[in-house]
Amino acid sequence: MKTIDNRFYGMTNKKMLSLPDFKEKQMLFAHAEWGTKSFLRFANDNIVFSKDGKIISRASCHKVFAVFIVGDIAITSRLLQQAATHAISLFFMRNNFEVFAPFSARAEGNYLLRIKQYSLSEDKELSISRLLVKNKAENQMRLLKSRNKAGDWETYWQNAVLRIAGAKDNQELLGIEGELSRRFFSEYFKDMDWRRRMPRVKPDVPNFLLDMGYTYLFNVVDALLRLHGFDTYKGVYHKLFFQRKSLACDLVEPFRCIIDHALLKAHNLKQVDGDDFSVAEKKVALSYDKQRKYATIFLETIMDHKEDIFSFVHGFYRFIMDSKNEFPEFAIHIE
C-alpha cells in the first residue's frame, strides 16, 4: 500500500475540518496482486494492509482521507465502521482502474445546502457553467504557453473565452468546450502521436492514462463534495443523467489540466513505456506489475494540488450558500 504524502483537509461525521487539519491527511493506494491473499483491516487506530499474512504497511486512520484499492481483497466490517466514523472513503477498482464499488464518506443532514442547490435557476446554473468552462479554457491556455508553442492558437483561445462569456445556453457552451478540447489535445500531446480523445474506449496509451488519471481526480472531487453535503448527482453544467454524478463532473473541469500536465511530464521524463502495455480486442491494458507505477504518477500530482482542490470545493460551497461570496478559481502553475 503506497502512502502519498500530503496535507489534505476534510470533514468528520461531526463537523467540517479546517484547512490545517486537512493538510495532515493522506491518500493510500492498495494493490492486491493476483495469487496473494490480500487483507485490509482496522487495528489499533490503524488501517493495516497485509499480503499472505505479512503486514505490508499501515497508516493512522486519523490521517487518511481516501483509499484506492485495485484487485481482489478481503476487508472487515470493523474497517468499514471505522472508515465511516473517520470520514474515510474507500474506492474499489477493477484492474482497468474503473471504480466498481465506492464506499464514500459524506455529511448527512445539510438540508440548507441541498435546498439552495436544488433551487438554482437556469440562468444561475448557466452563469456558473460559464465560469467553470472559462476556468478550464484558461488553464488549457496556460499549459500550451508553458510549451512555448507559437501559433494562431493563442488568438483562437482568447476569442473562445469571449465566446464562453457570451454563450446563450448550455448546448452552445458544450459546443465551445468541445472545440477547445479537441484543439488542445492535438496541440498539447502532439509529441505523443496524439490521434483524438476517446473516453473509456482506451484505444491507445495516452487515452488509457488520461482515463486513469481523470478517474482518480473525479473520485477525490466527488468525495470532497459529499463531505460538504452536496448531492453530487445534481450538477449545473452536466445535467441530470441516470447514475451520473454530474456535480463532480462539473468541478473536475478546471482541474483536468493537472492530469494532462502530469501525463506529458511523465512522457518527457521517459516514464511512459510502451512495453508496460498490451492490446487485446482493440483495447489497451496495463501490465499488472506496472499498475502501481502509473497510479503513483497521478496520485502524487493530485496530492501536489490537494489544497487547491479543497479550496475550490469549499469556495464553491460558500458560493452556493451565499452568492455574495466570490466564485472560486484555479490557476495551474507550471514549474
CATH value at residue 86: 3.100.10.20
Residue 64: pLDDT above 50? yes
Q: Do residue 225 and residue 246 come from a single domain?
A: yes
Count other C-beta atoms under 10 Å from residue 335's C-beta. 4
pLDDT attached to residue 5: 38
Structural domain of 181: 111-321
Q: Is residue 33 part of a domain?
A: yes
The answer to the question of residue 50 being in a domain is yes
Does 242 map to a domain?
yes
The fraction of the chain above a pLDDT of 90, given in percent, is 67
Residue 306 reports pLDDT greater than 70 = yes
Stated pTM of the model: 0.85
Specify the pLDDT at position 17.
57
**Are 99 and 159 found together in one domain?**
no
Query: Of residues 97 and 257, which shows the higher confidence score?
Result: 257
Give me the percent of the chain exceeding a pLDDT of 70.
Answer: 93
Residue 247 lies in a domain: yes
Residues 253 and 152 in one domain: yes
Do 115 and 99 have their domain in common? no
328 part of a folded domain: no
Least confident segment among 48-62, 86-100, 191-205, 207-221? 86-100
For all residues of the chain together, what is the average pLDDT? 89
Among 39, 69, 103, residue at a domain's last position: 103
The reply to whether 6 and 145 lie within a common domain is no
Alpha carbon of 300 to those of 152, 162, 286, 303: distances in Å? 34, 34, 19, 5
Say yes or no to pLDDT of 250 above 60: yes
The reported pLDDT for the residue numbered 331 is 98
Which residue type, as a one-letter code, is found at position 73?
A: I
CATH number at residue 249: 1.20.120.920
- The total domain count for the chain is 2
Examine the domain organization and report whether 141 and 44 are in the same domain.
no
Distance CA 20, CA 22 (A): 5
- Considering the domain architecture, whether residues 165 and 72 belong to the same structural domain is answered as no
- For residue 297, pLDDT over 80 is answered with yes
Tens-place pLDDT, residues 275-287: 999 998 889 999 8
Task: Please report which confidence band the pLDDT of residue 300 belongs to, taking 50, 70 and 90 as the band edges.
Answer: very high
Nearest Cα to 40, choosing from 92, 85, 106?
A: 92
Cα–Cα distances in Å, from 320 out to 75, 100, 118, 200, 216?
37, 30, 10, 32, 25
Give me the pLDDT at residue 15, please.
53
Q: Which three cell numbers stand for residue 120?
A: 438554482
Q: Looking at residue 22, what is its pLDDT?
A: 67
Q: Which of 103, 133, 148 is the last residue of a domain?
A: 103
Amino acid identity, position 246: S
Q: How far is CA 298 from CA 68, 126, 142, 201, in A?
A: 12, 31, 20, 20
Last residue of a domain, one of 103, 125, 151: 103
In a domain, 97, yes or no: yes
Instruction: Flag the least confident range among 2-16, 151-165, 295-309.
Output: 2-16
Domain presence at residue 170: yes
pLDDT of residue 96: 72
The answer to whether residues 314 and 282 belong to one domain is yes
Section 294-305 average pLDDT: 94
Give yes or no: residues 53 and 176 share one domain: no
For residue 21, the surrounding DSSP H or E stretch is helix 19-22
In a shared domain, residues 181 and 308 = yes
Whether 334 maps to a domain, the answer reads no
Q: What is the mean pLDDT of residues 89-95?
A: 86
Instruction: Concatenate the DSSP letters of all residues of 136-191 into one string.
Output: HHHHHHHHHHHTT--STHHHHHHHHHHHHHT--SHHHHHHHHHHHHHHHHHHHTGG
Distance of alpha carbon 213 from alpha carbon 296, whole angstroms:
10
Whether residue 99 is found in the same domain as residue 145? no
More confident residue, 36 or 268: 268
Better pLDDT: 204 or 22: 204
Please say if the pLDDT value at position 10 is more than 50. Answer: no
Q: Are residues 130 and 167 in the same domain?
A: yes
Question: In the structure, what pLDDT confidence band is assigned to residue 98 with cuts at 50, 70 and 90?
Answer: confident
SS3 content of the chain, % helix, strand, coil (to 5): 50, 20, 30
Per-residue pLDDT band for 7 (boundaries 50, 70, 90) equals very low
Q: Residues 211-222: pLDDT tens digits?
A: 999 999 999 999
Could you tell me which residues are beta bridge partners of residue 280? 283
Higher pLDDT pick, 168 / 23: 168
Going by pLDDT thresholds of 50, 70 and 90, the confidence category of residue 16 is: low
Residue 4 has pLDDT above 90, yes or no: no
